Amino acid sequence: MTNPILSDWNTPFEIAPFATISDDDFTPALEQAMQVHDAEIDAIAANQDTPTFANTIEALEAAGEQMDKVLSVFFTVAGADSNPKREELQRAFSPKLAAHYSRISSNKSLFQRVADLWDRRDELGLTDEQARVLMLSHRGFVRAGAALTGDDDARMQELKARLASLGTSFTQNLLADERDWFMELAEEDVQGLPGFVVDTARAAGQEKGADEPVVTLSRSLIVPFLQFSPRRDLREKAYRAWTARGANGGETDNREIATEILKLREERAKLLGYDSFAEYKLETEMARTPDRVRDLLMQVWEPAIKRADADADELTQMMQEDGINGPLEAWDWRYYAEKRRKAEHDLDEAALKPYLQLDRMIEASFACANRLFGLEFAPLDVPLYHPDCRAWEVTRNGEHVAVFIGDYFARGSKRSGAWCSAMRGQAKFPKVQAPVVINVCNFAKGDPALLSYDDARTLFHEFGHALHQMLSNVTYESISGTSVARDFVELPSQLYEHWLEVPEVLAEFATHADTGEPIPQEMLKKVLKAANFDQGFQTVEYVASALVDLAFHDGAAPADPMDKQAEVLAEIGMPSAIGMRHATPHFAHVFAGDGYSSGYYSYMWSEVMDADAFAAFEEAGGAFDPERAKSLEDNILSTGGSREAEDLYLAFRGRLPGVEALLKGRGLIAA
């Protein structure tokens, strides 16, 4: 019987046939796919013909189709709908995959062919895109250790395998802590909570099999609980559990894992001739050096801490007026900030939330994409990996562009956070293929589902990533979509958030869940006026995490990351009432894999550009200016990694921005 993962996918738009795939299919599918991929690689490496772009680089691009099918399905369900079997498979697959890809990157015959092409690159008559793919391929081999020999080569393979296993363990430990903890609430404990928080807590209780409403460690529930619960004792208990993820002792404790990861990363960088892992990692990013990253972060830190300190004084006074003496604590900040927002802006999130229906915000994100890029979205009725998922066909001028899948609701089987991934990337070689793109979020379920303003911003953010994938128009998949520098990849997503704040968008799509009435003009004005509220807090918690990440990797690996974290926070004067957005034991961006390691700063680097890029629209014909939209698509969204990120931005804007636009956008300096 043919394995359904490896068979032809005779489904609409060749979407993975989730309904016919079982967990038992993954292991045999992966084993067969690896064997096929190994044979493809061996054939390229053993080719006795003179290396050409076609018989080497394009052959590499064409190899691994079965691997792509297996891994796209497996990692989609493992991240968004895990179970004990899938967690077991992740642990088993992780070292196997690391070894598999290490065999490719350390294949000396293969590397020699790529190096030969690189040496003769000026004689090959390559297109600009082909020259870019060759450069990235050669650089990737070198940075992966292909030029290493003997013991160094063997040690590099060991490091890769061990790091892959540690990253998987870190992720699964975090998921276990998030899944297993919850706090039951008696009827008196929900007094003072808005109805939407109580409804979410009751739904969470049903999922956990509890008779009472519960608070879980899902951000979509714990944050509003910390915002609205008048019970300081319960806020403290919930906050301490939230910030203790990965640091509870026992089998799910991540602290020793983080220590080992940092040591192995340092060793890996030094094997490749770098002084630190940060130098190695940042070499290929826009920032280039740790000093440039630190300089940006500190330029933002100074005005942010000044604002946060002033805000802390205000919140402390409010707390004392409630008869609570002593310092403002981290579990107090969101509660008193919410009261202050209501007092200063007359904006009550409980009153706002019915206007931010999930379905209407999805419509809003689609409508903006239609006005900007001419995209249209039609629902698709296809089996997906979970009943909560939805799919749409994306077209333009009647032509198929992509399939978009949305998986929006929090559940115990889904890791925390929000992300975008492509189950299939755009390409024209070796065959034309349209992308299949997924947005995964963790919003609270409801009937109808209602979002906070931050949730709505997250939805637009992830859809910005999706547009980067869907509008990609390059030849080779290795440089399509979001295959760009890490500190550039957040530009399209963070830029797209700005359209949520366009008054005409909210005026049309922010409609009341019960009455259908559009958001009142007065409330709309308050929402937009309060958009920068509490930016001192939000900026400080983010920049602190980015500075700790950089410190972990810029220099010798710390003997104890928790001590290093404390040292960095003390040096920068971190307020005790603000926690890091991601403390070390649950800093999945940095420790679940290499993706954002030494690179968490990249959100801020991209924000410098996104503030400036949206200003380009405002300076032209407004948020939906057609010429600016076309330039954005032509120079950034369609180009993938076909050119250096800096060149792409210069082509769109004509210059590189300074940090002032970001500071003004966050309201940290006067506009």
Q: Give catalytic residues, as residue numbers.
A: 462
Which amino acid does the sequence have at 86?
R
φ, ψ at 593 (rounded to 5°): 180, -175
Dihedral (Cα; 414, 417, 420, 423), 10-degree rounding: -20
Tell me if 353 sits within 8 A of 193, measured CB to CB: no
Residue 487's nearest CA partner among 383, 601, 338 is 601
Query: Residue 556: CB partners within 8 Å, gap ≥ 6?
Result: 266, 276
Determine how many CB atoms are found less than 10 A away from the CB of residue 599: 26
Q: Which tokens go with 46?
A: 């053993």
DSSP conformational letter for 428: -
Q: Where are the alpha helices (DSSP H) in 81-127?
A: 84-105, 108-119
**DSSP labels for 504-531?**
HHHHHH-B-TTT-PBPPHHHHHHHHHTT
**Helix H or strand E encompassing 390:** strand 390-396
Instruction: Find out whether 534 and 341 touch, Cβ atoms under 8 Å.
Output: yes
Give me the torsion for CA of 19, 20, 26, 28, rounded to 10°: 180
Backbone φ and ψ of 206, nearest 5°: -65, -40
Q: What is the DSSP string of 141-184?
A: HHHHTTT--HHHHHHHHHHHHHHHHHHHHHHHHHHHHHHH-EEE
Instruction: Judge whether 454 and 111 are in contact, CB under 8 Å.
Output: no
